[in-house]
Amino acid sequence: MELISMSIIFSLVALFFSLPLLFFLTRKRNKSQLPPGKTGWPFIGETLSFHKSGLTGVPPRFVQDRMQMFSPRIFKTSLLGEKMAVLCGPDGNKFLFSNENKLVKVWYPSSVMKIFPPSPSVKHSSDEEIVRFRKTLASYVNADALQRYAGIIDSITKQHLKTHWENNKEVIAAHLIKKYTFSVVCKAFLGIDDPVHLEKLSGPFDLMAIGIKSLPINLPGTSLNKAIKASAAVRKDLLEHIKKRKVDLMVNKSSVPQDVLSHMLLTMHEHGEDEKAVSVKSFGLLFGSLDTVSAAITFVIKYLAELPHIYNEVLREQKEVLSSMTGEFLKWEDIQKMKYSWSVASEVIRLIPPVQGTFREAITDLTYAGFSVPKGWKV
């Protein structure tokens, strides 16, 4: 009995001392399965480095440097207070897009949700709302709509160039292109073309663009706090415009511009929405269209300035289209003749995509390129 008791005691002691070693080895093995990389400072992570790469004019450098240091396929980091696994290259994109709502779902930083709060009148989840809105929008913003707006966009373009570009030896292109894009989007989506109203609306958008990429700290004076206040002011203005448009539609539909706003107002009751829900969508539509289109146009101008032989070919094609035009403004058939110009724009977007990437959230533990991405991580 004594020998048995001693044996049990020795076994318990050995087990007690082996547990820390077992825990260490297990923890080390699990940790090694995570993607290579670094997470930076607590909470802040590598957010400052991410912003720095954008301020220096080479946003992709943040990703490129880590692909070289850690892995060309996947690496881990921490941005905006979130642990992230960055999937790189065409294979990474294919993996994410083919597993939408299976392994991953759309995710937005908390700062985005504070600046763009969902409408309280919508009874769907935010994910369902986004999907449904995309389908609704696709039924209106299509090739037919582009044909209708060709002349309007051409008119706005000519007026913009005459006002801001002509007779100037030097201009700040990026700033003016944002101004131009904003006027086009407001006219096409909301039917707003009054210069005073446009100026009032455009002011807060820069604050919101900064706030979206800031740390999620909502204190007076912070970028996020300024963005939230700017968002509230714009949404209030848009709601007033929407209510006025609704009255105009009820009085005389034929004289009201048939833009995206009119389409949403005429169909909002089908989805159980009200004017506030439409204002939220209109706001998101405005903001989502600005930086992407502005960035693409800006980089097209950049490359045309740097590559004279490409510029000369684009100029030649544009002169040919101009000489064959039958009216004062462009028509859809005129735009279809700009095959070389379109190829140039497409190549610029391929070289420098207007958006660095999109966020997803892992809805289950997943494996990619031999590494594990835990549920809840952002990818």
Q: What is the CATH number of the domain that holds 172?
A: 1.10.630.10
If asked whether residues 343 and 365 sit together in one domain, one would say no
Residues 88 and 235 placed together within one structural domain of the fold: no
What's residue 253's pLDDT?
64
* The pLDDT of residue 57: 66
Residue 12 lies in a domain: no
Least confident of 101-105, 291-295, 371-375: 291-295
Same domain, 263 and 305: yes
The answer to whether residue 129 scores a pLDDT higher than 80 is no
* Alpha-carbon gap, residue 335 to 330, rounded angstroms: 7
The structure tokens listed for 334 are: 């005129």
Between 310 and 119, the higher pLDDT residue: 310
* pLDDT for position 191: 86
Residue 52 belongs to a domain = yes
What value does the mean pLDDT take over residues 248-275? 75
Alpha-carbon span 96 to 106, nearest angstrom:
10
Percent of the chain, pLDDT > 90? 31
Give dist(CA 89, CA 111) in Å, integer: 27
Is there a single domain that holds both residue 215 and residue 141? Answer: yes
Residues 31 and 132 in one domain: no
Q: Tell me, yes or no, whether 63 and 151 share the same domain.
A: no
| pLDDT tens column, 320-354 | 999 999 888 888 899 999 999 999 999 999 888 88
Alpha-carbon span 105 to 102, nearest angstrom: 8
Residue 216, in any domain of the structure: yes
The count of structural domains within the chain is: 2
Question: Pick from 314, 310, 337: which is nearest to 324 by CA?
Answer: 337
Residue 359 has pLDDT above 50, yes or no: yes
Q: Is residue 203 part of a domain?
A: yes
**Dist. CA 176–CA 166, nearest whole Å:** 12
Closest-CA residue to 156 (of 104, 191, 208, 109): 191
Compute the mean pLDDT over every residue in the chain, rounded to the nearest whole number.
Answer: 81
User: Which of the pair, 119 or 81, is modelled with greater confidence?
Assistant: 81
Q: 138 pLDDT exceeds 70?
A: no
Same structural domain, 363 and 347 = no
Under the banding of pLDDT at 50, 70 and 90, the label for residue 137 is low
- Residue 196 domain-assigned (yes or no): yes
Domain identity same for 203 and 340: yes
Residue 130 counted as domain residue: yes
- For the chain, the straight-line distance linking the first and the last C-alpha, in angstroms and rounded, comes to 59
Q: Do 132 and 247 reside in the same domain of the chain?
A: yes
Let me know if residue 146 belongs to a domain.
yes
Question: Average pLDDT for residues 200-217, to the nearest whole number?
Answer: 81
**Coil/strand/helix, residue 371:** strand
Lowest average pLDDT, out of 13-22, 124-133, 191-200, goes to 13-22
Q: What is the pLDDT of residue 120?
A: 59
Assess whether pLDDT exceeds 50 at residue 118: yes
What confidence score (pLDDT) does residue 256 get? 61
Query: 136: which 2 tokens?
Result: 């609704």
Examine the domain organization and report whether 332 and 186 are in the same domain.
yes
Q: Report whether pLDDT(34) > 60.
A: yes
Q: Are residues 274 and 366 in the same domain?
A: no
89 versus 289: the higher-pLDDT residue is 89
The CB density around residue 207, as the number of other CB atoms within 10 Å, is: 21
Q: Which domain holds residue 292?
A: 126-351
- Asked if residue 186 and residue 165 are part of one domain, the reply reads yes
Q: What is the pLDDT confidence band of residue 121, given thresholds at 50, 70 and 90?
A: low
Q: Which residues contact 54 (CB under 8 A, 6 or more apart)?
A: 213
At 292 the pLDDT is 83
pLDDT, position 12: 41
Residue 270 lies in a domain: yes
